[in-house]
Structure 1
């Protein structure tokens, strides 16, 4: 049986959380056409999430420069939406959205949504709190900036993702080492770092804010407060708790995020914010114009049904329906905790991981775990960008249950790593 639909959804880089977009629109009867760059598809963190069978067509481009050829191939189709699935393909999605004249974000601000320097500079020009910063390849200039700022500073590539080459520095020796490790090296997107971004360190609790927009109307789907044992390095969190929409910090974060969305020209689709709550109020760390990664949408859907995924079709295709749904949103009351797993051990995985150690705990709702028998378990060192083995979600009507079960999760996590690295006992003869 063959089917053909002129109305298509173009998904640009359907990796990471973007892999859920095609099944959503397929279920609505649309044909989903996938376009991506080979470099993005071959990225080690993205490649395992690629599901080519979800698309009616898959088009691989050598680079963003081949966008015109792809547009020509789509002649005769009606492109209803162009949606970025992952961070490395956001700029290509911007370009294609404009070429197809589809609902899109402001094209003139595309690079400001990728360059962390321009991102903060754009917020500053719009009267929003932003980080003091410097973009430079001159070590003495960076030393001078540090002397002026004092204390801890953050050094990272101008445009990257996933805590790639992000360093917290307090001394000249640390600064020189960080600059040396960034300049002349390819970043997460495969681009050569010709300068480094130096920013003031933003103190205060870090929050994650996930939004969805339709024709400039913004909705905060979920906010999370991250908790870390220390702040010696980036992305050093132990867990994140879902913030109840009724508390004041949710309103403060929502207002700041909405103003930032306007300033950065994000009018359609998802955005994922990292925001620090400083003594002077919320301040952006960075934002990506795509869905949050590593999300179990079923957990969030069970809370209020309005997620970045469940609202996406209306946001891109029917603003009136989008507004009707968000205006009828109900407040959640359940406690949800996302636990970031962290291994203190390393070695070859000799036994299949026993995830019942987690799933046997009442409040544990779902688990994502990467290492498997025959693979390798790495000791988690976030300061060296060594990835976590996975994460899990805890859900309960009672906050005390979460607190109690969390201690059990950590105890069982230690047992899990120990048993994974031991060979299974021989079966009795």
Structure 2
């Protein structure tokens, strides 16, 4: 994907696909440090690590090479990619006949836990500002270069000091199992809905293509995480979360008695909380409170397994 974009003249991160530790060491001369070492095909931040030294990169390569990833396939090769500093965005689109409709633009809060990038939450934008417009133009150029003329896509991109740089383009809807209800509250539609509309009601979708991006509300989406692994005894902090301003819903919560261990993967297996409001600062404050509760261990009650 990145090679195809580079061939089309787009600015992309330096990277290399490596199959041995020696290949990796040679690749670092081209890619530089720090780097992100990750499976060439997986999801949810599985096996992804930020490495600041050659030793860290080699050790992580050895840890994930030839291991089974989250998708159930073996990591025969590993991707080494230039680390991109800057704000990370999620851009969800639906395309028809080479024209792209922007459904969602969200900013990601990404922590580093022991070198593992961990997406804590996202918060959407209601308008495109001077920083966001170049990001969207870059994403559209990526979709064009990759030949995505029809259907849904979601793109992760970072706005670096040198401009937008791609992380990945996923030619599919954003989170196939995500609850559409909060999306309708925030945007008036969901990614799934727009994809179906573009197929079954193309005339209605073409009218959308002429509209400016201006959703009525802001959506904050938090991926809940337990600071401890073990057997879930309860979620005592949930009632306090429900009382936070802008709270909309909590979905995919784990059942009492189940084992929780997902501390870094972005799979939603330990729950997702949505906040919806027209005031972005209000949603940001609620997300900050939730993050503080999680970090203090005040959300989940977990017994050691």
TM class by smaller structure: 0.7 to 0.9
The equivalent residue for 1:206 is: 88
Q: 1:392 aligns with which of 258, 273, 277?
A: 273
The equivalent residue for 1:21 is: none
Q: Distance in 1 between matches of 2:19 and 2:216?
A: 49
List alignment gaps of at least 5 residues for structure 2. none
Q: 1:320 aligns with which of 190, 203, 207?
A: 203
User: CA 1:157–1:408 in 2, change beyond 3 Å: closer, same or farther?
Assistant: closer
Shift of 1:272: 1.1
Secondary structure of 2:191's partner? Answer: coil
User: CA 1:178–1:403 in 2, change beyond 3 Å: closer, same or farther?
Assistant: closer
Q: Distance in 2 between matches of 1:133 and 1:354?
A: 42
Secondary structure of 2:183's partner? Answer: helix
Shift of 1:411: 5.7
Shift of 1:368: 1.9
Q: How does 1:126-275 map to 2 (within 5 A)?
A: 126-230=8-112, 233-275=115-157
- 1:120 has 2:8 as partner: no
Q: Distance in 2 between matches of 1:176 and 1:421?
A: 35
User: CA 1:267–1:318 in 2, change beyond 3 Å: closer, same or farther?
Assistant: farther
Greater strand fraction, Structure 1 or Structure 2: 2
List alignment gaps of at least 5 residues for structure 1. 1-118, 423-429
User: CA 1:391–1:178 in 2, change beyond 3 Å: closer, same or farther?
Assistant: same
Q: Distance in 2 between matches of 1:342 and 1:270?
A: 28
Q: Size of the alignment, in residue pairs?
A: 301
The equivalent residue for 2:218 is: 335
Secondary structure of 1:336's partner? Answer: strand
User: CA 1:314–1:135 in 2, change beyond 3 Å: closer, same or farther?
Assistant: same
State which drifts further: 140-149 or 121-130. 140-149
Q: Distance in 2 between matches of 1:272 and 1:377?
A: 28
Shift of 1:196: 1.7
Q: Distance in 1 between matches of 2:167 and 2:222?
A: 21
Shift of 1:379: 6.6
Q: Distance in 2 between matches of 1:357 and 1:263?
A: 46
The equivalent residue for 2:248 is: 365
Q: Residues 329-379 of structure 1: CA distance to partner in whole angstroms, max 9, x if unpaired?
A: 662353322223222233322347673332233311111243211212337
User: CA 1:407–1:139 in 2, change beyond 3 Å: closer, same or farther?
Assistant: closer
Shift of 1:317: 3.5
Q: Distance in 1 between matches of 2:187 and 2:58?
A: 48
Q: Residues 314-338 of structure 1: CA distance to partner in whole angstroms, max 9, x if unpaired?
A: 3124433311133246623533222
Q: Look at both structures and tell me which one has the larger radius of gyration over its CA atoms.
A: 1
Shift of 1:271: 0.7
- Higher RCO (C-alpha under 8 Å, 6+ residues apart): 2
